Amino acid sequence: MMVVAKLARASRQLAGVLLIAFLGATLVFFVMRAGHGDPALSALGDLATPEAIAAFHKRWGLDAPLVVQFWRWLSGALVGNFGVSMTIAGGVPIADLIASRLPNTMFIGVYALVIAVTISLLAGTVSALRHGRMIDSAATSMAVLGISMPDFWLSYVLVYALALGAGIFPSYGFISPAESVAGALYSGFLPALAVAAPMAAAFTRILRTALIETLYRDHVRVARSLGFTGAFIFVHYVLRNALIPYVTVIGLQVRYLLGGTVVVERIFGVPGIGALMVDAAFGRDYAVVQACAMTFLVIVLIVNFLVDTLCNALNPRAA
Amino acid sequence: MSASALIEVMNLRTSFAVGGERVEAVRGVSFSIAPGEVLGLIGESGSGKTVTGLSLLRLLPSHASVAADALRFRGQELAELSDRQFRGLQGIQLAMIFQDPVGSFNPAKTVAWHLKQAIARRARADDENSDWRDEAGRILRDVGIRVPERVLASYPHQLSGGMLQRALIAMIIALRPAFIIADEPTTNLDNLVERQIIDLLREQQKKLGASVLFVTHDLAVAGEICDRIAVMYAGEIVEIGPTRDVLQRPRHPYAQGLLQTSASLERRDEYLYELQGEPGGRGAAEGCGFVARCPVAMAMCRSKRPRLVDVGPGHTSRCLLHEQ
Amino acid sequence: MRSFIANKLALFGAAITSFVLLAVLVGPWLSPYSPTEADFLALLAPPSLTHPFGTDSFGRDVLTRILYGARVSLAVSVAGVLMAALLGGSAGLISAYAGGWTSAVLMRIADLLFSFPSFVLALFLMVVLGFGVTNIAASIALIYFPLFARLSRNMALVVKEEPWVQAAQLMGQSTFSILSREILPNIAAPLFVQIALGIAFGIVIEAGLSFLGLGVQPPDPSLGTIMADGREYFQRAPWVLTLSGVAISIALLGLNLLSDGIRDVMDPKLRARL
């Protein structure tokens, strides 16, 4: 009985997600066209002759009504055909560009998430258990500093300290995980850390607050009265109940995480989607910008869906 | 203090550090409980009765300080035990039933999980293996839950307060402790359920042979289940004696006032008898703690602190009136 | 209010924010240097008495550029956030009172905008609208629109449906008076927290965009462009990048501490714990 209800709920959520994806595609396509009108002009230049423009239109199906073009673009996108890059990688299918770069961005993103979660679990736990004391104040202050430093500045601080200064990590360049996982972990550490730091700060704060609130709940006291060990109580009574707000915040922060990768990729020379989008922006390759925007949207929607599912699984009241 | 007492408390003092000041919640409470005996601890909110229980079981937050001349369980001085050693006693020998059954359960886990932990805790202490599901079902039936499987599979938020209180009692029974502090176990329940829980508690206490410190503000409930009663006011015990004596012939002005109020309530008087002054209101630092509200206070009550004085067999009261 | 003053961190935050505001408003006038004129006699000079923050590759006084740049960053951010509050607030109100299709559409739009990573959305809009300062403000406005829309919608629903509001209305209190005397004090604190945080993040977005070259265009100073400059000669003259970064961080720190302070004061649970 409950399984059916949960399936129904999940499919309703999925429908909502698909709706937003569709609306997003609409927004991206039409707004781009509204802003830059004729792709022919941007590809061929302002001095293009009317004949050249007409030929361009015919070649790329731009003579069809806008809605039809949208439909073609969308249906193409659904099967992975985003069209072809105009300027920054002339003639290369955009799908290929994205496919080659997406793993790098995802790698840095996941790497950053792992770092942020690890740091916050440790720091949040320590400062909650010792709250009010020195180590808590230290951790909280660091957390506030963490969210006050833009990640692109932190990148340089790290580069200065750990790369140029101590020479432990490379200051530029990225080895794709497809070539060498170890290489990727090594060259990706600084960029991931730069993106992770503000996340870690935010996660630590929410975990600390959630833990402290749970520590004073009645059921924790009951558990203590039954003689369970401190570690057992912490894991099953305190942490377990603090996980829900914690995971929720992680889900909310993913948007910032992805946004952060854009600049950090540029700084560290990571060939990811963010860097691609920036290059395309400068190169006026609007089709690529469009495709990148859609890719990011889809990633966020997928992550949100996963986080929601996880939260529902953790929360026995969600039925 | 009898040598065969299960619990002996002498001069328990508990205070809290609040914003730079020390607030005394318990000011020198002494009592003993024999094996299998139920001692009632009656008082208003703020009298220190709950804090007394929490102090005994080391369940207070870190800004509380507990001190006592003696705190003995089966003759063993509890203060000498390290936290780890004391934890070995918690649950197995010394247990507590809390006031709010709903809040006492881990909201993320089923009732089955809770019972399993309790049973496993006991089994670990006794060094025996048991099939916990059978035992869990048996215990739940014992506390009056006729369909244990459904309750076992449920999460706390899916069950009523009464059901949860039964499940909580079941957990305690699974542990088979020698001493139980029941802190207002029926206050949050409605009257019909309250009746059932009281009967259940009485039945289980007899079965286990456990000693109980029954904390409550309800005289009627205390009358039904307790062998002896102690009345607390502003952190002190003001009267203590056999139930019948304390409830029918109270000697301390506060206890008398409580009884009159209770009787007035039952008679449904038009004007409810009340004690003047604020609940828990304490007089000056020296002198009797009840002086501000006492209807028969004398001049010397303000300056001289009364001690507990014998007023009957096994019955003492803390009032200067008795010393005359 | 009293507990706010008692909270030292919050006071610290307010102090920093005020200091930053003051520096930004007054500083540029006090500086003898121009933020854009080059001085080829003093290229890449390290910090000294005449140039407390040193000079950049064009000989421009870094401190002056930072002050002017901070002015731009703050102005853009504040404009964007206020626009978001206005647009979002109105959208939320309309959504709450109109209900039905209007509400569904407005909220879907808000959800949609919220589903893009903020920086990506900003980047996209810069491509569409063109690089430049006003467009940055517009991007920030669209990024924060959903947050304010949701906030105002929730509050408006409270107004509509809470029994005590209806009771007040029955007793003759005008809607306006209810809004200002009962609703507004409740919403003021969360609103300020979001505005402060929004301004902080807006500064980051603007700096990031300008840093990449998609925002404020050189030679106009903005905290981001200064950082972009500084990055090119980072090893020779690290003070440019470092100090502009420090400037951003100080502004953010002040805003974050301030919003933390307001939040702590508002939240009764946290207060009880203290």
CB-nearest to B106 from A225, A229, A236 is A236
First to last CA, chain B: 26
The number of residues making up chain C comes to 274
CA angle C15, C20, C24 (to 5 degrees): 150
Beta-carbon separation of B108 and A218 below 8 A: no
Residue B279 · residue B288 · CB < 8 Å: no
Beta-carbon separation of A263 and C208 below 8 A: yes
Q: Which residue of B has its CA nearest to A239?
A: B108
CA dihedral sign of residues B152, B154, B155, B159: negative
- A contact residues 69-128, partner C, Cβ 8 Å cutoff: none
Q: Which residues of C touch A256 (CB under 8 A)?
A: 117-119
List helix spans (H) across chain B: 49-56, 83-89, 111-126, 132-142, 148-153, 161-175, 191-208, 219-225, 243-248, 253-267
Which helix (H) or strand (E) element contains residue C163? helix C163-170
Please report where in the chains the tokens 């006729």 appear, as a residue.
B146
Dihedral Cα C245, C216, A201, A168, nearest 10 deg: -50
- A contact residues 260-319, partner B, Cβ 8 Å cutoff: 314-317
Can you give the pLDDT of all 274 residues of chain C as single tens digits? 555 555 777 788 888 888 888 888 888 777 777 777 777 777 777 777 777 788 777 778 888 888 888 888 899 999 999 999 989 888 888 888 777 888 888 888 888 888 899 899 999 988 888 877 888 999 999 999 999 998 888 877 776 777 777 777 777 776 666 666 666 666 777 788 889 889 998 999 998 898 888 887 777 888 888 888 888 887 777 788 888 888 888 888 888 888 888 777 766 544 443 3
CB-nearest to C120 from A32, A153, A262 is A262
List the structure tokens of B140. Answer: 């739940």
Q: Which residues of B touch A131 (CB under 8 A)?
A: none
User: B95 to chain A nearest CA, in Å?
Assistant: 6
User: A121 to chain B nearest CA, in Å?
Assistant: 19
User: C9 to chain A nearest CA, in Å?
Assistant: 10
- From the list A215, A129, A229, A216, the residue with the least C-alpha distance to B90 is A229
pLDDT tens across A280-295, in order? 888 878 888 888 898 8
CA angle B140, B141, B147 (to 5 degrees): 90
Q: Which residue of C has its CA nearest to A26?
A: C112
Q: Report yes or no: C234 at the A interface, CB cutoff 8 Å.
A: yes
Residue B8 · residue B77 · CB < 8 Å: no
Q: Report yes or no: B87 at the A interface, CB cutoff 8 Å.
A: yes
d(CA C216, CA C208): 10
- C contact residues 198-217, partner A, Cβ 8 Å cutoff: 200, 204, 207-208, 211-214
User: B71 to chain A nearest CA, in Å?
Assistant: 17
CA dihedral sign of residues B60, B316, B73, B69: positive
Record the pTM: 0.83
List the structure tokens of B97. Answer: 């039933």
Residue B47 · residue B234 · CB < 8 Å: yes
Beta-carbon separation of A218 and B100 below 8 A: yes
Beta-carbon separation of C123 and A262 below 8 A: yes
Beta-carbon separation of C127 and A32 below 8 A: yes
Burial (CB count within 10 angstroms: exposed 0-12, middle 13-18, buried 19+), residue A55:
middle
Beta-carbon separation of B104 and A240 below 8 A: no
**Mean pLDDT throughout A167-196?**
82
d(CA C234, CA C241): 7
pLDDT for A253 equals 86
**How high is the ipTM of this complex?**
0.84
d(CA A242, CA B161): 24
pLDDT for C274 equals 34
Residues 6+ apart with CB under 8 A from A246: A203, A206, A207, A210
Q: Report yes or no: C21 at the A interface, CB cutoff 8 Å.
A: no
pLDDT for A90 equals 67
- In CATH terms, the superfamily for domain C75-269 is MetI-like (1.10.3720.10)
User: B104 to chain A nearest CA, in Å?
Assistant: 4
Other residues' Cβ atoms within 10 Å of the Cβ of residue B145 = 20
Q: Which residues of B touch A217 (CB under 8 A)?
A: 103
**Mean pLDDT throughout A189-197?**
89
**Best residue in C12, C106, C124, C258 to probe A by mutation, most A CBs within 10 Å?**
C124
pLDDT tens across A251-280, in order? 888 888 888 888 899 888 888 999 999 988
